[in-house]
Structure 1
Amino acid sequence: MPVYFLGIGGPSFIENTHHPAYAQLEKVGQEITTHVKPKAIVVFSAHWQDSASKISINTAEYTDLLYDFDDLRDFPSHFYDYHYPNRGSPEVAEKVVDKLTSAGIQVERVKRGLDHGVWAGFLVVSLFNNEDHDMHYRMGQALEGLRDEGIVIVGTGMAVHNLGDFLAVRESGKTMPYVYSFDEALKSAATAEPEERQVAMSDLMRRSDARQAHPTLDHILPIYVSAGAAGRDVGERLFTLPDRTLSWAQYRFGKVQGA
């Protein structure tokens, strides 16, 4: 099974059908459903960080949606009426528990609704509530074996995500220079040869523009999990779109026949 990192915007994105990234997400969705055809999908969402040393895993078969909207705008009331039909897999969740605990990672089983980073998906696992990107990479490495069981691993976040600056340039539409520079640096790191990738990804966050691109690391950490789970597979950037203070880049690790 391949591994993915997908740039997924806020809740309003699901109605922004003319956005170029919308069509790209549709394309990747069709690739997964028509060519990959996984038995299950495990998702690491930028919108769920638990503790600095412990991972929470949603083990519930049925759960609700979380309307976890930010404070940047008032969302119309109909956004709270959205439903996403979903069914979790306690069996797959236990596989995740086993692999993480075998790697020495502390795990807690919880029942949690799907946050808006996963409204387009799946079975949800939390991130560590810390900024240790190497720890998240190692977590992905611990889960690589799930791919041999027909399970797709997906990280959802954004390649560049600075909402503080977004308000300042929203009217002008100007794309900040750090969006372009960090977006290309991420591409170089994520698509590096597998034996060089972990070091390249670690060096990425030491760049001078890293904190401009990500004042907090929650939206970039999921790609560290994806890259760690990729094993010997090389990363490929499928799409990118620098947009003011955001980048909608999407990545796949591993080839898909027929795609």
Structure 2
Amino acid sequence: MMLINPSADIPIIQVSILKNQNTKQHLNIGKVLYQFRKDGVAIFGSGMSYHNMVEFRKSEKVNDGVVVDEIFDSFLNEVLTGDVDAKKEILYWDKVPPGLDSHPPGEADHLMPLIVNIGAGGSSPGRNIFSSVYMHKFILSGFIWDKE
């Protein structure tokens, strides 16, 4: 946060994700935080749209140029930049065929902050503000909700 506000004159409160990685509960946390957002409080979530440590380690040894998470990244983009009904599809991220490849069971802790932010975004669609291919193999995307 020092890069965003070097004077550090804005209070910051850290909220942890739940250990259970329950998508609906994280979405509901975001909906509660939305009330603060309406009062001008910024909500930040960190994590990654892809986080499979086994694949990261493999790619250090083998660089075949195959991007492994294009389908899941497309799913995220459709859901997060869509309307309210589209955003509900995030509850089923693990049912999308490459969902569990992108975030293996028990390792979705890098996806949960994004789900909190979806709830904090209210009814407005998000915008993709960052998309990059990491190590020639993994698409990493970032989103913002700056309307409403």
TM-score (norm: length of structure 2): 0.83
Question: C-alpha displacement at 1:162, in angstroms?
Answer: 1.0
Pick from 160, 163, 187 the counterpart of residue 53 of structure 2. 163
| Residues 177 and 145 of structure 1: CA distance in aligned 2, closer, same or farther (over 3 Å) | same
| Percent identical | 22
CA contact 1:161–1:246 (8 Å) conserved in 2? no
The letter for the 2-side match of 1:234 is P
- Superposed counterparts of 1:83-102, under 5 Å: 89=11
Task: Provide the C-alpha distance between the structure 1 equivalents of 2:26 and 2:70, rounded to a whole number of angstroms.
Answer: 25
Match of 2:90 in 1: 201
TM-score (norm: length of structure 1): 0.50
Pick from 10, 17, 21 the counterpart of residue 127 of structure 1. 17
What CA deviation, in whole Å up to 9, does each residue of 1:12-71 have, x standing for no partner?
Answer: xxxxxxxxxxxxxx8xx5xxx6xxxxxxxxxxxxxxxxxxxxxxxxxxxxxxxxxxxxxx
Pick from 119, 131, 140 the counterpart of residue 248 of structure 1. 140
CA contact 1:155–1:222 (8 Å) conserved in 2? yes
Give secondary structure in 2 for the equivalent of 1:242: strand
What CA deviation, in whole Å up to 9, does each residue of 1:225-256 have, x standing for no partner?
Answer: 00001112111111111324543311011249
| Residues 88 and 210 of structure 1: CA distance in aligned 2, closer, same or farther (over 3 Å) | same
The letter for the 1-side match of 2:146 is G
Would you say 1:154 and 2:27 are equivalent positions? no
Q: Which runs of 5+ in 1 are unaligned?
A: 1-25, 34-83, 90-121
Would you say 1:217 and 2:115 are equivalent positions? no
Task: Provide the C-alpha distance between the structure 1 equivalents of 2:80 and 2:147, rounded to a whole number of angstroms.
Answer: 15
Task: Provide the C-alpha distance between the structure 2 equivalents of 1:196 and 1:182, rounded to a whole number of angstroms.
Answer: 15
Task: Provide the C-alpha distance between the structure 1 equivalents of 2:7 and 2:94, rounded to a whole number of angstroms.
Answer: 37
Question: C-alpha displacement at 1:195, in angstroms?
Answer: 3.5
- Superposed counterparts of 1:106-121, under 5 Å: none
Q: Which runs of 5+ in 2 are unaligned?
A: none
CA contact 2:80–2:86 (8 Å) conserved in 1? no
Question: C-alpha displacement at 1:223, in angstroms?
Answer: 0.8
| Residues 196 and 181 of structure 1: CA distance in aligned 2, closer, same or farther (over 3 Å) | closer
Bigger radius of gyration among the two: 1
| Residues 185 and 195 of structure 1: CA distance in aligned 2, closer, same or farther (over 3 Å) | closer
Pick from 43, 60, 68 the counterpart of residue 178 of structure 1. 68
Give secondary structure in 1 for the equivalent of 2:85: helix
Task: Provide the C-alpha distance between the structure 2 equivalents of 1:180 and 1:174, rounded to a whole number of angstroms.
Answer: 15
CA contact 2:68–2:138 (8 Å) conserved in 1? no
Would you say 1:192 and 2:87 are equivalent positions? no
